[in-house]
Structure 1
Amino acid sequence: MPAAEVAVIGEDQAPERQSVPYRTAFEARLDFNESVARVREQIRVWLRQKRYDVERFDAGTPEIAHQVIALTASTTTAHGWQLRERRPDGVTWVSTAAVTQGKGRRQSWISLNVEPAAPPGVSLPAAAHPPRLIRLLLDAVDALDGETPLRSRAEVVAVAGVDDLLELVCAEDRRLPLVVAAAPHDVAFEDWRRDIDRLMQSLPGLASLFLLDPAAVSAFNAGIGETHWIGSASIRTYLPGVDPAIAEDALRHRVLSRRRIEAEPQRAGRVLAALPRQLAANSLPPAALRGLELSLRDFTRGTSERRASEDRLTALAEEVEMLNELLSTADDNERQMQAKLSRHTDELLDLTSDLEILRNDLERRDATIRALRQRLAALGRHADAYVPVEQPPPLPTSFSEVLDRLDSLAPFVVFTGDPAVALDLDEHPPHSNWAQLAWQALLALADYARAKRDGWSGGDFKQWCESPAEGGKAISIAKVARDESTSVRNNRRFAAERNLPVPRQIDRSGSVFMGAHIKLGTSATVSPRLHFHDASSIDQTIYVGYIGRHLSNTATSRS
Structure 2
Amino acid sequence: MSVLYRALWTCAPDDAEQHLQQARELFAAWATEATGDVPQLSDGPTVVTLQRLRMPERQPYTVERSVSVRAVEDNEGAHGFEGTTRETSAGMTWTTIVRVVAVAGGTHVWVENQAESERLVGVRLAVGRPRIVDDLLAACPSARLGGSGLMVEPQPIPSGAVPILVEHLQSPDRTLPVIVVSQPNNDDGDPGAWLRRASRIARRVSGVATVATLDRAAVVAFSSELGPLATWDGSIRVYSPVPVADGEGYRHRYTLRHLLEDEASERAQVDRIVYGVCALSTRRRPPAELDIFATPVAAVDLSNFMSIDDADGLIRELQSQLDAVQEDANETVEEHDALARDLSMKVGHLSRLQKALNEQGLHNLFYETQHDLGAGIPDEADSVETAIILAMDWLSDWLVIHDDAPQALDGINTSAKAGAWGNTTWRGFRALAAFAETRDGGGGFAGTFYDWCKSDPPLGWPATPKKLSMAESDTVQKNAVLSAKRVLPVSTEVDPEGSVLMLAHLKIAEGGGNLAPRVYFYDDTAGPTKKVHVGFVGPHHLMPNTRS
TM-score by length of 2: 0.59
Give 2:377's aligned residue: 403
Query: 2: CA distance between counterparts of 1:99 and 1:93?
Result: 20
Give 1:65's aligned residue: 47
Give 1:113's aligned residue: 112
Could you say what secondary structure the match of 2:277 adopts? Answer: helix
Return the offset for 1:131.
Answer: 1.3
Give 1:475's aligned residue: 462
Q: 1:208 aligns with which of 207, 210, 214?
A: 210
Return the offset for 1:56.
Answer: 4.1
Q: 8 Å contact 1:520–1:529 — kept in the other structure?
A: yes
Query: 2: CA distance between counterparts of 1:229 and 1:241?
Result: 15
Give 2:101's aligned residue: 99
Q: Percent identity?
A: 18
CA offsets, 1:203-228, max 9 Å, x none?
A: 221112222233322221221233x2
Q: 8 Å contact 1:531–1:545 — kept in the other structure?
A: yes
Letter in 1 for 2:47: A
Query: Measured at CA, do residues 288 and 162 of structure 1 come closer, stay the same or move farther in structure 2, by a change above 3 Å?
Result: farther
Query: Measured at CA, do residues 146 and 529 of structure 1 come closer, stay the same or move farther in structure 2, by a change above 3 Å?
Result: same
For structure 1, the 5+ residue unaligned runs are 1-17, 298-345, 369-385, 407-414, 501-505, 508-512
Letter in 2 for 1:148: S
Return the offset for 1:46.
Answer: 0.9
Return the offset for 1:98.
Answer: 0.6
Could you say what secondary structure the match of 2:28 adopts? Answer: helix
Letter in 2 for 1:235: I
Q: Where does 1:409-424 land on structure 2 (aligned, <5 Å)?
A: 417-418=392-393
Give 1:174's aligned residue: 174
Q: Where does 1:11-410 land on structure 2 (aligned, <5 Å)?
A: 18-31=1-14, 32-49=16-33, 54-57=38-41, 60=42, 62-65=44-47, 67-74=66-73, 76-85=77-86, 87=88, 93=95, 95-101=97-103, 103=105, 107-115=106-114, 128-142=127-141, 143-187=143-187, 188-199=190-201, 201-226=203-228, 228-244=229-245, 246-247=246-247, 249-258=248-257, 264-284=265-285, 286-290=287-291, 292-293=293-294, 295=296, 353=331, 356-357=334-335, 359=337, 390=352, 403=377
More helix by share: 1
Give 1:510's aligned residue: none
Could you say what secondary structure the match of 1:225 adopts? Answer: helix
Letter in 1 for 2:463: S
CA offsets, 1:464-509, max 9 Å, x none?
A: 22x5389995632665677999979988xxx5xx769xxxxx99xx
Could you say what secondary structure the match of 1:55 adopts? Answer: coil
CA offsets, 1:353-373, max 9 Å, x none?
A: 57634645887999x9xxxxx
Could you say what secondary structure the match of 1:135 adopts? Answer: helix
Could you say what secondary structure the match of 1:282 adopts? Answer: coil
Query: Measured at CA, do residues 462 and 194 of structure 1 come closer, stay the same or move farther in structure 2, by a change above 3 Å?
Result: same
TM-score by length of 1: 0.58
Query: 2: CA distance between counterparts of 1:94 and 1:163?
Result: 38
Could you say what secondary structure the match of 1:462 adopts? Answer: helix
Return the offset for 1:68.
Answer: 3.2
CA offsets, 1:330-352, max 9 Å, x none?
A: xxxxxxxxxxxxxxxx9999997
Query: 2: CA distance between counterparts of 1:168 and 1:132?
Result: 27
Letter in 2 for 1:43: F
Query: Measured at CA, do residues 194 and 471 of structure 1 come closer, stay the same or move farther in structure 2, by a change above 3 Å?
Result: closer
Return the offset for 1:292.
Answer: 4.0
Could you say what secondary structure the match of 2:186 adopts? Answer: coil
Query: 2: CA distance between counterparts of 1:365 and 1:272?
Result: 26
Letter in 2 for 1:176: L
Query: 2: CA distance between counterparts of 1:472 and 1:96?
Result: 46
Q: 8 Å contact 1:236–1:253 — kept in the other structure?
A: yes
Letter in 2 for 1:468: S
Return the offset for 1:174.
Answer: 2.1
Q: Quote the RMSD (CA, aligned, Å).
A: 5.9
Q: 8 Å contact 1:155–1:209 — kept in the other structure?
A: yes
Could you say what secondary structure the match of 1:136 adopts? Answer: helix
Query: 2: CA distance between counterparts of 1:140 and 1:180?
Result: 26
Query: Measured at CA, do residues 455 and 48 of structure 1 come closer, stay the same or move farther in structure 2, by a change above 3 Å?
Result: closer
Letter in 2 for 1:237: V
Q: Where does 1:542-553 land on structure 2 (aligned, <5 Å)?
A: 550=537
Query: 2: CA distance between counterparts of 1:65 and 1:472?
Result: 56
- Between the two proteins, the alignment pairs up a number of residues equal to 437
CA offsets, 1:177-226, max 9 Å, x none?
A: 22222232234342233334445554221112222233322221221233
Return the offset for 1:280.
Answer: 2.8
Q: 8 Å contact 1:444–1:475 — kept in the other structure?
A: no
Could you say what secondary structure the match of 2:192 adopts? Answer: helix
Give 2:362's aligned residue: none
Return the offset for 1:82.
Answer: 1.8
Letter in 1 for 2:98: T
Query: 2: CA distance between counterparts of 1:21 and 1:56?
Result: 29
Q: 8 Å contact 2:4–2:114 — kept in the other structure?
A: yes
More strand by share: 2
Query: Measured at CA, do residues 196 and 428 of structure 1 come closer, stay the same or move farther in structure 2, by a change above 3 Å?
Result: farther
Give 1:15's aligned residue: none
Query: Measured at CA, do residues 268 and 469 of structure 1 come closer, stay the same or move farther in structure 2, by a change above 3 Å?
Result: closer
Return the offset for 1:554.
Answer: 11
